[in-house]
Protein backbone atom coordinates (compact mmCIF):
# COMPACT_ATOMS: atom_id res chain seq x y z
CA UNK A 1 0.00 0.00 0.00
CA UNK A 2 2.87 2.29 0.86
CA UNK A 3 4.66 1.52 -2.43
CA UNK A 4 1.47 2.30 -4.35
CA UNK A 5 1.13 5.68 -2.62
CA UNK A 6 4.76 6.52 -3.35
CA UNK A 7 4.35 5.49 -6.98
CA UNK A 8 1.20 7.61 -7.36
CA UNK A 9 2.98 10.64 -5.87
CA UNK A 10 5.90 10.10 -8.23
CA UNK A 11 3.58 9.82 -11.22
CA UNK A 12 1.81 12.99 -10.09
CA UNK A 13 5.10 14.92 -10.00
CA UNK A 14 6.03 13.56 -13.41
CA UNK A 15 2.73 14.71 -14.86
CA UNK A 16 3.21 18.19 -13.34
CA UNK A 17 6.75 18.37 -14.69
CA UNK A 18 5.59 17.22 -18.10
CA UNK A 19 2.84 19.84 -18.19
CA UNK A 20 5.22 22.61 -17.11
CA UNK A 21 7.78 21.44 -19.62
CA UNK A 22 5.24 21.46 -22.42
CA UNK A 23 3.36 24.65 -21.58
CA UNK A 24 2.47 26.37 -24.80
CA UNK A 25 1.06 29.89 -24.96
CA UNK A 26 0.45 29.75 -28.69
CA UNK A 27 -2.64 28.63 -30.55
CA UNK A 28 -2.55 25.51 -32.67
CA UNK A 29 -3.02 27.45 -35.90
CA UNK A 30 0.15 29.53 -35.41
CA UNK A 31 2.73 29.44 -38.21
CA UNK A 32 5.49 28.39 -35.77
CA UNK A 33 6.23 24.71 -35.32
CA UNK A 34 5.41 23.04 -32.01
CA UNK A 35 9.07 23.00 -30.95
CA UNK A 36 9.45 26.70 -31.78
CA UNK A 37 6.34 27.49 -29.79
CA UNK A 38 7.73 25.67 -26.75
CA UNK A 39 11.06 27.52 -27.00
CA UNK A 40 9.30 30.87 -27.33
CA UNK A 41 7.13 30.09 -24.29
CA UNK A 42 10.20 29.16 -22.23
CA UNK A 43 11.94 32.40 -23.22
CA UNK A 44 8.85 34.39 -22.23
CA UNK A 45 8.63 32.78 -18.79
CA UNK A 46 12.37 33.17 -18.25
CA UNK A 47 12.19 36.90 -18.97
CA UNK A 48 9.09 37.19 -16.79
CA UNK A 49 10.86 35.53 -13.85
CA UNK A 50 13.92 37.75 -14.28
CA UNK A 51 11.76 40.91 -14.39
CA UNK A 52 9.82 39.90 -11.30
CA UNK A 53 13.08 39.13 -9.49
CA UNK A 54 14.46 42.58 -10.31
CA UNK A 55 11.27 44.26 -9.09
CA UNK A 56 11.30 42.26 -5.85
CA UNK A 57 14.98 42.99 -5.17
CA UNK A 58 14.58 46.71 -5.92
CA UNK A 59 11.50 46.95 -3.72
CA UNK A 60 13.21 45.20 -0.82
CA UNK A 61 16.16 47.64 -0.92
CA UNK A 62 14.20 50.83 -1.66
CA UNK A 63 13.88 53.50 1.04
CA UNK A 64 10.47 53.72 2.55
CA UNK A 65 9.18 57.11 3.68
CA UNK A 66 7.34 57.15 6.95
CA UNK A 67 5.27 60.21 7.70
CA UNK A 68 5.80 61.52 11.22
CA UNK A 69 3.71 64.46 12.43
CA UNK A 70 5.08 66.77 15.12
CA UNK A 71 2.54 69.19 16.50
CA UNK A 72 3.76 72.81 16.91
CA UNK A 73 7.52 72.14 16.71
CA UNK A 74 9.91 74.66 18.26
CA UNK A 75 12.34 76.60 16.10
CA UNK A 76 15.34 74.53 17.23
CA UNK A 77 13.53 71.31 16.35
CA UNK A 78 12.53 72.66 12.94
CA UNK A 79 16.09 73.77 12.14
CA UNK A 80 17.48 70.38 13.20
CA UNK A 81 14.92 68.49 11.12
CA UNK A 82 15.51 70.76 8.13
CA UNK A 83 19.18 69.72 8.04
CA UNK A 84 18.33 66.02 8.43
CA UNK A 85 15.41 65.88 5.98
CA UNK A 86 15.82 68.82 3.58
CA UNK A 87 13.82 67.24 0.75
CA UNK A 88 10.91 65.69 2.65
CA UNK A 89 10.31 68.03 5.57
CA UNK A 90 7.17 70.12 5.28
CA UNK A 91 5.80 72.44 7.94
CA UNK A 92 2.44 74.05 7.06
CA UNK A 93 1.81 77.50 8.48
CA UNK A 94 -1.24 78.42 10.51
CA UNK A 95 -0.70 82.02 9.34
CA UNK A 96 0.18 82.41 5.67
CA UNK A 97 1.09 86.13 5.72
CA UNK A 98 3.40 88.03 8.09
CA UNK A 99 4.38 91.70 7.95
CA UNK A 100 8.05 92.39 7.39
CA UNK A 101 8.30 94.66 10.44
CA UNK A 102 7.50 91.67 12.67
CA UNK A 103 10.83 90.03 11.91
CA UNK A 104 12.94 92.72 10.18
CA UNK A 105 14.56 95.89 11.51
CA UNK A 106 16.93 98.31 9.80
CA UNK A 107 19.85 100.31 11.16
CA UNK A 108 20.55 102.86 8.45
CA UNK A 109 24.09 104.28 8.17
CA UNK A 110 24.53 107.57 6.33
CA UNK A 111 27.62 109.39 5.15
CA UNK A 112 29.55 110.86 8.12
CA UNK A 113 29.09 114.39 6.79
CA UNK A 114 25.33 114.09 7.41
CA UNK A 115 26.01 113.91 11.16
CA UNK A 116 28.92 116.35 11.21
CA UNK A 117 29.05 120.04 12.07
CA UNK A 118 29.26 120.91 8.37
CA UNK A 119 25.48 120.57 8.04
CA UNK A 120 24.87 122.52 11.23
CA UNK A 121 23.21 125.86 10.70
CA UNK A 122 25.68 127.57 13.05
CA UNK A 123 28.60 126.50 10.87
CA UNK A 124 26.79 127.47 7.66
CA UNK A 125 25.92 130.90 9.05
CA UNK A 126 29.58 131.48 9.90
CA UNK A 127 30.43 131.24 6.19
CA UNK A 128 28.23 134.16 5.20
CA UNK A 129 30.19 137.02 3.63
CA UNK A 130 28.51 140.41 3.46
CA UNK A 131 30.92 141.78 0.85
CA UNK A 132 30.45 139.00 -1.71
CA UNK A 133 30.00 141.50 -4.53
CA UNK A 134 33.69 142.35 -4.20
CA UNK A 135 34.76 138.83 -5.13
CA UNK A 136 35.30 137.32 -8.56
CA UNK A 137 32.08 135.48 -9.61
CA UNK A 138 33.74 132.04 -9.51
CA UNK A 139 35.37 132.60 -6.12
CA UNK A 140 34.45 129.74 -3.81
CA UNK A 141 33.71 132.11 -0.95
CA UNK A 142 30.60 133.20 -2.86
CA UNK A 143 29.20 129.67 -3.20
CA UNK A 144 30.51 128.14 0.06
CA UNK A 145 27.30 128.84 1.97
CA UNK A 146 25.16 127.42 -0.83
CA UNK A 147 27.35 124.33 -1.13
CA UNK A 148 26.92 123.38 2.50
CA UNK A 149 23.24 124.30 2.43
CA UNK A 150 22.85 121.90 -0.49
CA UNK A 151 24.73 119.20 1.43
CA UNK A 152 22.49 119.72 4.48
CA UNK A 153 19.39 119.64 2.27
CA UNK A 154 20.65 116.54 0.47
CA UNK A 155 21.21 114.73 3.78
CA UNK A 156 17.77 115.72 5.02
CA UNK A 157 16.09 114.70 1.76
CA UNK A 158 17.89 111.36 1.59
CA UNK A 159 17.04 110.55 5.21
CA UNK A 160 13.38 111.33 4.56
CA UNK A 161 13.28 109.29 1.34
CA UNK A 162 15.01 106.32 2.99
CA UNK A 163 12.68 106.54 5.98
CA UNK A 164 9.63 106.60 3.69
CA UNK A 165 10.96 103.68 1.64
CA UNK A 166 11.62 101.58 4.75
CA UNK A 167 8.20 102.39 6.17
CA UNK A 168 6.54 101.33 2.94
CA UNK A 169 8.68 98.19 2.71
CA UNK A 170 8.05 97.01 6.28
CA UNK A 171 4.28 97.31 5.88
CA UNK A 172 4.33 94.68 3.15
CA UNK A 173 3.77 90.99 3.80
CA UNK A 174 5.71 87.83 3.17
CA UNK A 175 3.25 85.19 1.98
CA UNK A 176 3.96 81.45 2.20
CA UNK A 177 1.86 78.42 3.08
CA UNK A 178 4.75 76.58 4.75
CA UNK A 179 7.78 77.42 6.85
CA UNK A 180 10.88 78.35 4.84
CA UNK A 181 14.30 76.89 5.47
CA UNK A 182 16.90 79.36 6.76
CA UNK A 183 18.98 79.43 3.57
CA UNK A 184 15.93 79.93 1.34
CA UNK A 185 14.52 82.60 3.67
CA UNK A 186 17.84 84.49 3.80
CA UNK A 187 18.24 84.44 0.01
CA UNK A 188 14.72 85.81 -0.53
CA UNK A 189 15.09 88.57 2.08
CA UNK A 190 18.55 89.61 0.83
CA UNK A 191 17.20 89.86 -2.72
CA UNK A 192 14.30 92.04 -1.54
CA UNK A 193 16.64 94.32 0.43
CA UNK A 194 19.02 94.71 -2.52
CA UNK A 195 16.05 95.61 -4.70
CA UNK A 196 14.90 98.15 -2.08
CA UNK A 197 18.37 99.75 -1.98
CA UNK A 198 18.61 99.93 -5.76
CA UNK A 199 15.12 101.42 -6.10
CA UNK A 200 15.71 104.04 -3.39
CA UNK A 201 19.05 105.12 -4.87
CA UNK A 202 17.50 105.32 -8.33
CA UNK A 203 14.69 107.54 -6.99
CA UNK A 204 17.18 109.89 -5.31
CA UNK A 205 19.24 110.14 -8.49
CA UNK A 206 16.11 110.66 -10.57
CA UNK A 207 15.08 113.70 -8.51
CA UNK A 208 18.53 115.27 -8.76
CA UNK A 209 18.74 114.59 -12.50
CA UNK A 210 15.27 116.07 -12.97
CA UNK A 211 16.22 119.31 -11.17
CA UNK A 212 19.56 119.61 -12.97
CA UNK A 213 17.95 118.92 -16.37
CA UNK A 214 15.38 121.67 -15.84
CA UNK A 215 18.05 124.16 -14.77
CA UNK A 216 20.20 123.39 -17.80
CA UNK A 217 17.48 123.15 -20.46
CA UNK A 218 15.63 126.26 -19.27
CA UNK A 219 18.87 128.23 -18.89
CA UNK A 220 18.04 129.19 -15.32
CA UNK A 221 20.65 131.62 -14.06
CA UNK A 222 22.09 130.92 -10.63
CA UNK A 223 21.58 133.73 -8.15
CA UNK A 224 25.29 133.45 -7.41
CA UNK A 225 26.17 133.98 -11.10
CA UNK A 226 28.26 130.82 -11.11
CA UNK A 227 26.88 129.24 -14.29
CA UNK A 228 26.09 132.31 -16.42
CA UNK A 229 27.15 135.93 -16.35
CA UNK A 230 25.55 139.07 -17.77
CA UNK A 231 27.61 140.98 -20.31
CA UNK A 232 26.95 144.29 -22.07
CA UNK A 233 27.81 145.39 -25.58
CA UNK A 234 29.97 148.54 -25.39
CA UNK A 235 29.19 151.32 -27.90
CA UNK A 236 25.65 150.14 -28.49
CA UNK A 237 22.97 152.77 -28.91
CA UNK A 238 20.74 150.81 -26.58
CA UNK A 239 21.52 148.79 -23.49
CA UNK A 240 21.98 145.15 -24.57
CA UNK A 241 22.64 142.45 -22.02
CA UNK A 242 24.01 139.10 -23.13
CA UNK A 243 23.98 135.92 -21.05
CA UNK A 244 27.18 133.94 -21.43
CA UNK A 245 28.35 130.69 -19.86
CA UNK A 246 31.66 130.20 -18.13
CA UNK A 247 34.26 127.91 -19.68
CA UNK A 248 36.66 125.66 -17.83
CA UNK A 249 40.38 126.36 -17.61
CA UNK A 250 41.40 124.53 -20.78
CA UNK A 251 38.33 125.90 -22.60
CA UNK A 252 37.09 122.46 -23.64
CA UNK A 253 33.52 123.03 -22.49
CA UNK A 254 31.14 125.76 -21.45
CA UNK A 255 28.12 125.85 -19.16
CA UNK A 256 26.08 127.09 -22.12
CA UNK A 257 26.54 123.89 -24.12
CA UNK A 258 27.21 121.16 -21.59
CA UNK A 259 25.38 120.12 -18.44
CA UNK A 260 28.47 118.47 -16.96
CA UNK A 261 31.00 121.22 -17.52
CA UNK A 262 32.74 121.88 -14.21
CA UNK A 263 35.66 123.95 -13.02
CA UNK A 264 37.98 123.67 -10.07
CA UNK A 265 36.74 125.61 -7.04
CA UNK A 266 39.21 128.07 -5.60
CA UNK A 267 40.01 131.54 -4.33
CA UNK A 268 40.34 134.01 -7.23
CA UNK A 269 41.56 137.56 -7.55
CA UNK A 270 39.49 140.17 -9.33
CA UNK A 271 41.14 139.42 -12.69
CA UNK A 272 40.01 135.80 -12.58
CA UNK A 273 43.41 134.30 -11.79
CA UNK A 274 43.15 131.47 -9.27
CA UNK A 275 45.18 132.04 -6.14
CA UNK A 276 44.25 128.90 -4.20
CA UNK A 277 42.55 125.76 -5.47
CA UNK A 278 40.20 123.83 -3.19
CA UNK A 279 40.55 120.06 -3.82
CA UNK A 280 37.45 117.89 -4.36
CA UNK A 281 35.18 120.88 -4.95
CA UNK A 282 33.96 121.60 -8.46
CA UNK A 283 31.03 123.02 -10.27
CA UNK A 284 29.07 125.73 -11.93
CA UNK A 285 26.14 125.25 -9.57
CA UNK A 286 25.98 124.79 -5.83
CA UNK A 287 24.91 121.16 -6.06
CA UNK A 288 27.79 120.09 -8.32
CA UNK A 289 30.47 119.72 -5.67
CA UNK A 290 28.74 117.33 -3.25
CA UNK A 291 27.58 115.07 -6.10
CA UNK A 292 30.88 114.64 -7.92
- 209 vs 188: CA distance, rounded Å: 31
Query: Positive or negative, the Cα torsion across 163, 169, 170, 172?
Result: positive
Decide: helix, strand or coil at residue 155.
Answer: helix
What is the distance between the alpha carbons of residues 143 and 134, in angstroms, rounded to a whole number? 13
Kindly report the number of other CB atoms within 10 A of residue 156's CB atom: 12
Give the helix/strand (H/E) hosting 13.
helix 2-21
Catalogue the E-assigned strands of the chain. Answer: 97-99, 173-175, 228-232, 241-245, 264-268, 274-282
Whether 263 and 278 have beta carbons less than 8 Å apart is answered as: no
Q: Report the predicted TM-score, pTM, of the whole model to 2 decimal places.
A: 0.62
Task: Look at the chain and count its residues.
Answer: 292
What is the model's pLDDT at position 171? Answer: 92
Q: Spell out the per-residue pLDDT of the chain, length 292, in tens.
A: 545 556 666 666 666 666 666 666 666 656 667 677 777 777 887 888 899 888 888 877 766 777 888 888 888 888 888 888 888 888 888 888 999 999 899 999 999 999 999 999 999 888 887 777 777 777 778 788 888 888 898 899 999 999 999 999 999 999 888 888 888 889 999 999 999 999 999 998 888 888 777 777 776 766 666 666 666 666 666 555 545 555 555 555 555 555 566 666 778 777 667 777 776 665 555 555 555 4
Amino acid sequence: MKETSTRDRSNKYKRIYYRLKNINLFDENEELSFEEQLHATKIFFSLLIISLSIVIIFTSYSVRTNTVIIQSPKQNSFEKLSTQYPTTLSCPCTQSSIRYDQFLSFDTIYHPICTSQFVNQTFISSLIEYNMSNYYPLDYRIMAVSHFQIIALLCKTVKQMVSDALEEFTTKYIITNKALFNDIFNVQIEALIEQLKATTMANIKHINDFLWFNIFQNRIVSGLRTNYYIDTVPGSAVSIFLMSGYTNENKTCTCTLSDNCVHQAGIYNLTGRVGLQIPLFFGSLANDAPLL
